[in-house]
Amino acid sequence: MAPVIVWLTGWGMADSCWDKVRERLPDVRHVVPDYSQVSRPDEFYEVVAQSIQSLSGKELLVVGWSLGGMLALRLATEKRVAGLVLIGTTLRFVRDPAEREHGIGAAMLQRMKRQLAKDRERVMAQFVEQMFTGQERGQNCVDVGMAEGRWSQQALSAGLDYLASEDCRFAPERLSCPAVVIHGEGDIICPLGAGKELAGKLAAADFLQLKDCGHAPHLVHPEQVSEAIMRMVKRIAHRTDQASIQQPGDIL
């Protein structure tokens, strides 16, 4: 039986950012938590947890991007998750100077928060531009409705606070589910070192490193991302089918 896919998007981004990937997965049930209207950092996880309450007993594959990837890691430590696909994700977004290959400084988020209150459009435009490498920007990847203004001002501010405070470095020791970590080599928002660190610490993770790719692999390389997700779907379905075959009482 195929798992249900839970899609967790990144900061300020519209759910439509997944369209290029989801259209390649027509036979899978999709669940899309909407945390674009939250007002506090802790509400992000509350929305995600509530969205899967009705899925008790279902096999869940959680696909998270950036902020959504951190939510996926936390969810997998609290709930039963069959698999993870983590895109442009880090265990800890804010890092000290000695760890800058794994993250950014706290001052950058603080500056974004101050600027957000003064000129939201400019902050969002700059953020979207930074997602892409120079080569990608020439491929018209920006015009995909990713930052369509759906997020409330409160949610954007709360999202920056979430990124500043969330620490998932405890997560790997609690996780045993299979995972795929996908990261662009040219990601300047969440550096490549963060993806390597994440994949190295997860006990059952594959690492997909994409050349000439920034912070949004699913937009620039949707075919590769969807193939990775489909492999995980099949892996979970096979494991579930095998478990049902081996149920006690089936042997004469």
Q: What is the pLDDT along the chain (252 residues), one digit of tens a residue?
A: 789 999 999 999 999 999 999 999 999 999 999 999 999 999 999 999 999 999 989 999 999 999 999 999 999 999 999 999 999 999 999 999 999 899 999 999 999 999 999 999 999 989 999 999 988 887 755 554 556 678 999 999 999 999 999 999 999 999 999 999 999 999 999 999 999 999 999 998 999 999 999 999 999 999 999 999 999 999 999 887 766 555 555 443
Model-level pTM? 0.93
Report the Cα 105 to chain-centroid distance in Å: 20
CA 184 – CA 25 distance, rounded (Å): 22
Q: Give the pLDDT confidence score for residue 140 in this predicted structure.
A: 56
Q: Give the pLDDT confidence score for residue 252 in this predicted structure.
A: 33
Q: Among 171, 214, 234, which residue's Cα sits nearest to residue 65? A: 214
Cα distances from 197 to residues 44, 101, 102, 200, in angstroms, run: 24, 10, 8, 5
CATH topology for 4-245 is Rossmann fold (3.40.50)
Q: Give the pLDDT confidence score for residue 247 in this predicted structure.
A: 57
CA 45 – CA 165 distance, rounded (Å): 13
